[in-house]
Amino acid sequence: MYQVRKVMTLDEFTIQELRNFPQATGELSGLLRSIGLACKRINAEVNRAGLVDILGALGTENVQGEEVQKLDDFANKTLIDLLNHSIYCAGVGSEENDDIVVFDDELSNNSKYVLLMDPLDGSGNIDVNVSIGTIFSIFKRISPMGQPVTMEDFLQPGNRMVAAGYVIYGSSTMLVYATRRGVNGFTLDPSVGEFCLSHPNMQCPPHGRFYSANYGNFGKYSPGVQNYLKRCETKSAENGGPYTERYIGSMVADIHRNLIKGGIFMYPGTTDRPNGKLRLLYECNPLAFIVQLAGGMATNGVQPILDIQPSSLHQRMPLFIGSRDMMEELAECLQEHG
Ligand code: AHG
């Protein structure tokens, strides 16, 4: 007899979670629903990106004479619009906006959450059909309710984060979402337009085999980082070892692979950019929160990412993140070389 396998949708999952917290107001679930909807819209546009040659180049006009938006702009506006019209978010900090976006209306001023996001990470990869992602983190505001949120609501250390997630637009589209109760992955079923629970209780394997770094920068890394990479090389497949090097240039994709299969991703500081490239608030922090909750680790080479007190919205930070054993060996190398 034909049996339909029961799949749990993202909505069903969050409702079930709510039942465990009778005091919960449902605001966080509402916020997640808005993010999920925005990301489905972004996904539809990302899937059409290959057609721009036919329909018109990004930033120009398409054949109907309509302006074709750049995808990162589109992602940013879609998320901000949906969050603004939901009643669960008081403001947004985005890679695409110099300043915070404050939703200054009565409902929003009485919302307790703020959101930080990179609407489309790895956007340099759009033209070449490589996976890209949306990254977000959610904090409870610290300014008084009833008033517009302020910068201090966004400049909180990662260890105060309530939830974080990313959506990867890849061979399938997946939303990975973490709260202190754990990390769960939902794959978008395009036939019904629903994110369905596909990776419950994700755990980062403690022993990894993938190492991901931009080797083009090798000469500009510190001796500790160079030494760690040399150790990885000696353990690489070429030398009969288990390790293998993988770097896509879309950190959501690199970290997603390492989270599932075990590995380490790094974007260290370089001699010309001592703080590296990645942004603390909406790139390093959410991914650190997710990987740490899955049993991995994330540091800037000196201290845990989540312990860092941010000083500005677009601050950059070196990032080392991944499987526990690899992170511990890295820490040894960094210490040995000062
Ligand atoms: P962008 O969104 O500007 O394309 O940046 C992507 C980020 C991150 O996702 C990736 O791992 C890293 O930058 C790649 O940078 P390099 O090309 O310098 O290695």
Q: Which atom of ligand 1 is nearest to the CA of 252?
A: 9
Q: Residue 97's CB: how many other CB atoms inside 10 A?
A: 15
pTM over 0.85: yes
Q: Which atom of ligand 1 is nearest to the CA of 248?
A: 11
CA distances (Å), 306 to each of 132, 155, 200, 284, 286, in order?
24, 12, 24, 9, 9
State yes or no: pLDDT of 53 exceeds 60: no
| pLDDT on residue 154 | 98
Distance, CA 195 to ligand 1 centroid (Å)?
26
86: left (phi over 0), alpha (psi -120 to 50) or beta: beta
153 Cβ inside 6 Å of ligand 1? no
The fold for domain 10-199 equals: Fructose-1,6-Bisphosphatase; Chain A, domain 1 (3.30.540)
Percent of the chain's residues with pLDDT above 70: 93
User: Which of 70, 121, 247 for mutating ligand 1's site (highest number of atoms within 8 Å of CB)?
Assistant: 121
Confidence class of residue 90 from pLDDT cuts 50, 70 and 90?
Answer: very high
| pLDDT on residue 238 | 81
| pLDDT on residue 184 | 97
Summarize pLDDT for 286-319 with one digit per residue, the tens: 999 999 999 999 999 999 999 999 999 999 999 9
122 Cβ inside 6 Å of ligand 1? yes
State yes or no: pLDDT of 50 exceeds 70: no
Q: Which atom of ligand 1 is nearest to the CA of 132?
A: 9
| pLDDT on residue 71 | 87
Percent of the chain's residues with pLDDT above 90: 80
Average pLDDT value for residue range 20-42: 90
Specify the residue with its C-alpha closest to ligand 1, atom 4: 122
Distance, CA 205 to ligand 1 centroid (Å)?
24
Specify the residue with its C-alpha closest to ligand 1, atom 7: 122
Specify the residue with its C-alpha closest to ligand 1, atom 14: 249
Distance, CA 20 to ligand 1 centroid (Å)?
39
Phi, psi values for residue 109, rounded to 5°: -65, -20
* Mean pLDDT over the full length of the chain: 92
- Tell which wins on pLDDT, 53 or 164: 164
Average pLDDT value for residue range 165-171: 95
Distance, CA 151 to ligand 1 centroid (Å)?
26
| pLDDT on residue 102 | 97
131 Cβ inside 6 Å of ligand 1? no
Q: Which atom of ligand 1 is nearest to the CA of 214?
A: 19
Q: Please return the burial class of 55, using the count of CB atoms within 10 Å of its CB with bins 0-12, 13-18 and 19+.
A: middle
Alpha-carbon span 54 to 33, nearest angstrom: 33
For the chain, domain boundaries:
10-199, 210-336
Confidence class of residue 58 from pLDDT cuts 50, 70 and 90?
Answer: low
218 Cβ inside 6 Å of ligand 1? no
CATH class of residue range 210-336: alpha beta
Q: Which atom of ligand 1 is nearest to the CA of 121?
A: 2
- Tell which wins on pLDDT, 91 or 57: 91
Summarize pLDDT for 226-259 with one digit per residue, the tens: 999 999 999 988 888 899 999 999 999 999 999 9
138: three-class secondary structure by DSSP: strand
| pLDDT on residue 289 | 98
Summarize pLDDT for 29-38 with one digit per residue, the tens: 999 999 999 9
